[in-house]
Structure 1
Amino acid sequence: MAVITTYLPIVVGIALLIRLLMVGRRPKNYPPGPPTIPILGNLHLMPTKDVHLQFEKWAREYGPVYSLILGTKVMVVLSSDRAVKDLLDKKSHMYSHRQEMYVGQTLCSGDMRILMLGYTAKWRMSRKLVHALLNVSSAKSYVPYQMLENKQMLYEMITKPDEFLYNIRRYSNALTTTMVYGWRTPTYNDEKMRQLFDGFSEFAEINQTGVAALIDFFPILRCLPDFLLPARKKAKELHKKELGLYKGHWLKAKEDTLKGTITHCFCEDAVPVQKKEGFSDDEAAYIAGTLLEAGSDTTSSTLYGFVQAMLLYPEVQRKAQEEIDRVVGPDRLPTMDDEPNLQYSRAIVKESLRWMPTTIMGAVPHAVTQDDYYNGYLIPAHAAVVNNAWAINHDPVRAPEPRRFKPERHMDDKLSLADSAANPDPAKRDQFTFGAGRRICPGIHVAERSLFLGVARMLWGFNIAPKLGVDGKEIIPDQEKLTQGFVCMPEEYPATITPRDERRKGIMEEEWFAAERECLDPETKQWKQGMNWVPKLSSTKV
C-alpha cells in the first residue's frame, strides 16, 4: 500500500502529461490538414494577416475539405461549392450553430451579437424578427429610401468627389438607419456613424490578436488577470462603448414608436415583440445593432471594391456605359425597372461580390452540433465549419483567371442573388459572399437593390479614372491589398470621379434637389412626418 501511495503522484503526473501532449493532435479519421505540434496543433501556423491567402493555399494542398487543430478546438474548412451545398445547405439543421467565441461574443458583445449567437431559441426569435424586415416582399418597399439616399450620394460625388469612400459609406449607413431605426444619416460627419465604423476597425483589431486566439482556444488562460491580457481589457471597453451606441439608438426608436411619431422601420415592429417575448433593452439594442452593422459595412465595402475595379479594368466601365446609354439614354437616371435590361450592370454587381468578397472567410464560422461523416472523414461535434468564400469564389474551375474582374462570367445568369444561392446545382451559384444555409445573410434582397442602383447610376453619371500623382503619373491601386477583419475591402486608394457631361450633371443635381424638397424636413434633413413608405421621391419612376 505504501508503494502505491509513493508512486501514485508520479503515475498521475505521467498520465496528465500524456493527456496534455495529446492536445493539438489530429485524429486519423479527421479531414487532412497541415502537420500539427503538441498542444498548439496548427495554431502556430495561423497567419496574422491575409488569412484568406493561406486558407486558399491549404485548400490546394489538402483538398476542398480540410481540418485545422487549434489548441483544444477543431476547425473544418470547406473550400468547394459542393461541400458548402452538401453540408451548410442540405444539413443546415446540424450546421447552423456557433462555437463559443469568448473574445468576440462574450467580451466584445455581452453574448448578444446575433451574428455570433448559437443556434438557440433566442437566435431563432431574432432571425424571425429580422426576416420580417428583410424578406423579398419587404425589400421592395425600401426602394424609395434607396432612391433618395442614392441621389444624395450622386450629388456628393459631384461636390466632394475625393471623399467618394465616405459618400458611399453614408449612402449605405443612411439607408440602414432608416430601415432599422426610422431616421437617416444626412452627413458623413455624423458622430454616431463615425463611431460605428471606428468600432468595426477596433473589433477586427481585437479579434485578430494572437492573445485573443489563445484565450479562445485555451480557456484555462481566462483565469489570468486583465493586466496580463490587454486584449480582454480592450474588448470589455469596446463592448461598453458599443452597447451605449446601440442602446441609445434603440431607446430613441422605442420612445418614438410609443409616441406614434416614428417612420416605419424595424424597431417599430420590434417594440411589441419585445413586450411579448420579454427580451431586455440591451438584447433589443444588439438585435437592431447587428442589422446596422451588416447593412452599413458590407454594401459600402462592395461598392468601394467596384470603384477600384473600374480603375483597374476601364474596358468594363466603357462596356457598361454603352449598355446603360442604349437602354436608359442621357435624360434620366436608371431605376429598378431598368434592371432586367441592364444585364451587364447586373453582372458587374455579381462579379464585384465574387472578385472582392467582403466576408472574405464567410464571416463567422458555423459549428456542427453532432458527429457527421463526409467523404469518409469524421467532422466531430462542436467543430467550427468555415465557408471559405475567397477560395470558392476564386476557384479557377468555377472562374478561369479568377483575379481578373470579368462580368462576362455572369451574362447568362438571370437569377437574383438569393435565387442563385438556392440553386440546387452549386456549380451554377454566382458567388458565396452572403454565406449559406440558415445563416445566409438575410439582407441579400436589400443589398442587391442597393448595389444595382449604386453601380448603374454611378456608371450612368460619372467617369471613374486613376488619380494623377505629383509626378503626373497615374496612381494605380494594388487589388491584392485588402483590409483585415471579418469584413474586408480594398485598402484606401485615390480616384478621379467626374460627371460624364454637363447634361447628366444637371440631372443628378436636380434629382437630389427635388427629392430633398419633397421628402426631407429643411431643418433636420430627416424624413417629413407622414412620409412613411414614400410612393414617390421625384418625377423619376421607381
Structure 2
Amino acid sequence: MSTLTVLTLQYLCLASAGVYLVKQIFTKKNPAPYPPGPRGLPLVGNLRDMPHVKPWLTFTEWGRKYGDISHISILGMHIVVLNSVKSAEEMLDKKSSIYSDRMVVPMSGELMGYSQTMGYLRYGERFRLFRKNCHHIFGNRAALVDYHPVEEMEAHRFLKRVLAKPDQLQAHIRHTASAIVLRLCYGYEVKEHDDPLVNIVKRALEQFCRYGPFGEFMVDFLPFLAKVPEWFPGAGFKRLARECREITEEAAATPYIFAKDQIAAGIAPKSFVSDLFKDRTLTAEEEYVVKWSAGSLFSGGSDTTVSANYSFFLAMTLFPDVQKKAQAEIDAVVGPNRLPSFADRAFLPYVEALTKEILRWNAVVPIVEHSVTEDNIHDGYYIPKGSLILPNIWFMLNDPQTYTNPSEFNPERFLAKDGNEPEADPRRACFGFGRRLCPGLHLADASIWICAAMSLAVFDVSKVVENGVEITPEIDPSSGSISHPKPFKCSIKARSEKAFALIQEDTVY
C-alpha cells in the first residue's frame, strides 16, 4: 500500500470519527426525515455509494427506487439528488432565494482557481453583478441580433475548414466555438491556424473536464487537506492544482488585456467587454467583475457548444433519414443559391426541432450543482443548510414519462402532429434552473442552430466505409462536468457542385 493511500486512509478515519462523534453529541433531532436513499455506513456514510463515472446513471437508479428526491451523506455532507423537472423547478425556481448558492469546492474551486468564475461563485452581490452583466449583453435573443453576422461568418469559415480537412471535424468544431466566443466576448479574431488564445482555452477546458468534477480528490470531502504543503507526502494534488490555476488565470487575463488595449487605442469592435467599458470609468471591483464575467462566458460557452455540435454530426451519421428531412426543408425554404441565415430560422421548423433533439439526446451538462443557504422542509423532507443539490438533467431529458422512447433520436417529437402537442422543450431543463440558469443559453442555442443549418445545407454526412465494411459510431458520452460524444469517424462531402461553390464563396457578413 502506497504512502499516499495510507495517509489518505488515516486522514479519512480520523476526520470521519471526529465528524461522527460531534454529530452524536451536538446534533439535535431533525424536524423531518431526510429524503430516502441508500443506507450508509457508520462514520463514512455513503462514501462507497457515491458514483464517479457517469454518476447520472446511478442517480437515475436511485430515482427509480426512491422517487424524485433522494439523499445520501458523506462524512457529514448532505447530498440531495433531484430526478424530475417538477422537483427541480419547485425547489430551484420557486425557492431560488435559498437554493441558488454554490458549495465551496476545495480542489477545482479554491485551488484550481475556478471560484472566480460565475459557475462557482457563492450566491451574493458579486454573483448578481456577474449575471447582470451577462443579461445586459446576451440576456435574450433580441440582444444577440447585433452579433448574428459574426456567428454566420464563423459558421461559414467552419464549412470551409471541414471541406478542406473533414477528418479533423472535432478540431474544427472547437476552433469555431472558440472563435465565436472570443469575438463576441473580447472582439478578438482568431488566427486560422495555431491561435495562441484558442490553445490556452483548450488547455484550460481539458484540465477542467479532467480534474473539475466534485469528489475526484479527497480534499473535496476533507477541506483541511488544502492546507497541506506541496512537499508533504501524498500532497501531489496541490502541485497539480497550482499548475492548473496558472492556466486558469492565463485564460481569463490574456484576452481581457487584449480587449482593454483595443479599447484604449480606440479601435475595439463591439463586444461584451467593450460594451461594459462604454462611456464608463470602472473601479477595481468593476474591472474584476467584467474580467471574470467575460471569462465565465468564454470558458462555459466554448466547451458546451463543442459537445452539442459534435453530437449533431454524430446524429447525422447515425440517422440519415433525419438528415434528408432537414435538408429537404432547407432546400424548399432557402434554395440552392445561398446559405441559411438567422433570418430563416422562423421558417425552418424541422431544423428547429432537430436542434432541440440534439440538446435532449446528448445532455451536454448531465448534472448541475446548487446549494441551500438555510434549513428547509420540502415536500415533507428535511433539507439541511449547506446541502449539495444535484439536479439529474440527463434523466430529465431521458424520462420516459416526458419523452416517448427517449433513446430514439426523433426531432418530430417537438412538432405538433396529428392533433398531438409537441413534447416538452428540452431547454426547460438542459440549461439549468433558477438563478443559476446558464447566462449564455441564447448564445449557445444560436451557435448550435446556425452550425446545424449551414452544415445541412451543403454537406452530406454518412458512415465511413473501411475495407468494404461500414463503420457505425458508438453512442458512448464521456463522464465529467461537460459530457462529450466518444470520438468517431464519419464521411463529410459537399452535396453538389453548387454546394461546393457556396462553401468557397467569400461572403460579406
TM-score after normalising by structure 1: 0.84
Please say if 1:45 is aligned against 2:49. Answer: yes
Q: CA deviation at 1:88?
A: 1.0
Q: CA deviation at 1:218?
A: 2.0
Residue in structure 1 matched with residue 320 of structure 2 by the alignment: 314
Retained in 1: the 8 A contact 2:253–2:291?
Answer: yes
Retained in 1: the 8 A contact 2:273–2:294?
Answer: yes
Residue in structure 2 matched with residue 349 of structure 1 by the alignment: 355
Residue in structure 1 matched with residue 33 of structure 2 by the alignment: 29
Task: Say which SS state the counterpart of residue 507 (structure 2) adopts.
Answer: helix
* Partners of 1:427 and 1:503 in 2: CA distance: 38
Retained in 2: the 8 A contact 1:199–1:238?
Answer: yes
Task: Say which SS state the counterpart of residue 492 (structure 1) adopts.
Answer: coil
Please say if 1:238 is aligned against 2:244. Answer: yes
1:103 aligned residue (102, 107, 119): 107
Spell out the pairing of 1:499-510 with structure 2 (5 A cutoff).
Answer: 499-510=494-505
Amino acid at match of 1:438: R
Q: CA deviation at 1:278?
A: 2.8
Amino acid at match of 2:354: I
* Partners of 2:423 and 2:353 in 1: CA distance: 18
Residue in structure 2 matched with residue 486 of structure 1 by the alignment: 481
Residue in structure 2 matched with residue 449 of structure 1 by the alignment: 446
* Partners of 1:245 and 1:430 in 2: CA distance: 29
1:469-490 deviation digits (Å, cap 9, x = unpaired): 2x321221111x2223211110
Percent identical:
30
Residue in structure 1 matched with residue 265 of structure 2 by the alignment: 259
Please say if 1:407 is aligned against 2:411. Answer: yes
Amino acid at match of 2:150: Y
Q: CA deviation at 1:283?
A: 5.4
In terms of mean alpha carbon deviation, does 346-355 or 47-56 score higher? 47-56
Change (3 A) 1:112 1:18: closer
Change (3 A) 1:375 1:487: same
Change (3 A) 1:209 1:446: closer
Change (3 A) 1:223 1:449: closer
Retained in 2: the 8 A contact 1:22–1:39?
Answer: no
Retained in 2: the 8 A contact 1:211–1:231?
Answer: no
Retained in 2: the 8 A contact 1:30–1:378?
Answer: yes
Q: CA deviation at 1:68?
A: 2.0
* Partners of 1:106 and 1:381 in 2: CA distance: 21
Q: CA deviation at 1:61?
A: 1.5
Change (3 A) 1:222 1:442: closer
1:47-89 deviation digits (Å, cap 9, x = unpaired): 2321221111211111111112122211111110111111111
Please say if 1:203 is aligned against 2:205. Answer: no
2:59 aligned residue (49, 55, 59): 55
Give the superposed CA RMSD.
2.5
Please say if 1:177 is aligned against 2:182. Answer: yes
Q: CA deviation at 1:308?
A: 0.5
In terms of mean alpha carbon deviation, does 79-88 or 44-53 score higher? 44-53
Change (3 A) 1:277 1:39: farther
Task: Say which SS state the counterpart of residue 183 (structure 1) adopts.
Answer: coil
Spell out the pairing of 1:423-502 with structure 2 (5 A cutoff).
Answer: 430-469=427-466, 471-479=467-475, 481-502=476-497
Q: CA deviation at 1:145?
A: 0.5
Retained in 1: the 8 A contact 2:200–2:247?
Answer: no
Task: Say which SS state the counterpart of residue 126 (structure 2) adopts.
Answer: helix
1:91-135 deviation digits (Å, cap 9, x = unpaired): 111111111111121111163111100111111111111111212
Spell out the pairing of 1:124-273 with structure 2 (5 A cutoff).
Answer: 124-136=128-140, 137-187=142-192, 189-208=194-213, 212=217, 214-226=218-230, 227=232, 228-271=234-277
Change (3 A) 1:211 1:450: closer
Task: Say which SS state the counterpart of residue 48 (structure 2) adopts.
Answer: helix
Change (3 A) 1:483 1:150: same
Residue in structure 1 matched with residue 9 of structure 2 by the alignment: none
Residue in structure 2 matched with residue 377 of structure 1 by the alignment: 381
* Partners of 2:118 and 2:428 in 1: CA distance: 23
Please say if 1:387 is aligned against 2:387. Answer: no
* Partners of 1:334 and 1:114 in 2: CA distance: 34
Please say if 1:327 is aligned against 2:333. Answer: yes
Residue in structure 2 matched with residue 71 of structure 1 by the alignment: 75
Residue in structure 2 matched with residue 540 of structure 1 by the alignment: none
Change (3 A) 1:17 1:329: closer
Q: CA deviation at 1:151?
A: 0.7
Residue in structure 1 matched with residue 4 of structure 2 by the alignment: none
* Partners of 1:347 and 1:275 in 2: CA distance: 44
* Partners of 2:139 and 2:98 in 1: CA distance: 24
Retained in 2: the 8 A contact 1:467–1:495?
Answer: yes
* Partners of 2:216 and 2:408 in 1: CA distance: 36
Retained in 1: the 8 A contact 2:158–2:172?
Answer: yes
* Partners of 1:311 and 1:17 in 2: CA distance: 52
Q: CA deviation at 1:286?
A: 2.6
Change (3 A) 1:397 1:337: same
Residue in structure 2 matched with residue 19 of structure 1 by the alignment: 21
Q: CA deviation at 1:180?
A: 0.7
Task: Say which SS state the counterpart of residue 244 (structure 2) adopts.
Answer: helix
* Partners of 2:341 and 2:44 in 1: CA distance: 54
1:155-207 deviation digits (Å, cap 9, x = unpaired): 11211111111222222211111111111223252132122122212122223
Q: CA deviation at 1:431?
A: 4.8
1:286-309 deviation digits (Å, cap 9, x = unpaired): 322111112211112101011101
Task: Say which SS state the counterpart of residue 112 (structure 2) adopts.
Answer: helix
Change (3 A) 1:230 1:426: farther
In terms of mean alpha carbon deviation, does 198-207 or 59-68 score higher? 198-207
- Size of the aligned set, in residue pairs, is 483
Change (3 A) 1:461 1:174: same
Change (3 A) 1:449 1:203: closer
Give 5+ residue unaligned stretches, structure 2.
1-16
* Partners of 1:496 and 1:16 in 2: CA distance: 59
Retained in 1: the 8 A contact 2:374–2:386?
Answer: yes
Retained in 1: the 8 A contact 2:188–2:255?
Answer: no
TM-score after normalising by structure 2: 0.89
* Partners of 2:338 and 2:433 in 1: CA distance: 37
Give 5+ residue unaligned stretches, structure 1.
1-14, 414-424, 516-536, 538-542
* Partners of 2:275 and 2:365 in 1: CA distance: 29
Retained in 1: the 8 A contact 2:310–2:485?
Answer: yes
Q: CA deviation at 1:408?
A: 1.0
Amino acid at match of 1:112: Q
Retained in 2: the 8 A contact 1:274–1:284?
Answer: no
Task: Say which SS state the counterpart of residue 179 (structure 1) adopts.
Answer: helix
Task: Say which SS state the counterpart of residue 111 (structure 1) adopts.
Answer: helix
